[in-house]
Amino acid sequence: MSDFMMSQVQGLLAKVADDLEKMGDTNTAQTDMLLGAINDLAANMFATQAILCVLLRDHPVDPKQVKAWIAAQTGSPDEAPKAQGIVDMLLGADKKKN
């Protein structure tokens, strides 16, 4: 292979390496932005749960009615098990064991 062709190959390989580095930097920046958004969302949800828990102490809600509403919206009582569990957490049903 001639020196000219070798230099062309080396130039192309260097460009590919630079492009891969740029892709990695972009991916890192996007991941950081996504993690920040998830953190903001989690903080918002936690604050909302705290507000609901405090309000529900003064204004009790029947967990069966809430779960029936979830079942009606999803079409099945087994469709949203995490939501059913969060109902228990927010309404303090898990504290009945104490």
Per-residue pLDDT 10s for the chain (98 aa) are 788 888 999 999 999 999 999 999 999 999 999 999 999 999 999 999 999 988 988 899 999 999 999 999 998 878 899 999 999 888 885 565 44
Count CB atoms within 10 A of the CB of residue 87: 19
pLDDT score at 97: 47
Question: Among 4, 80, 90, which Cα is nearest to 49's?
Answer: 90
pLDDT at 78 (0 to 100) = 84
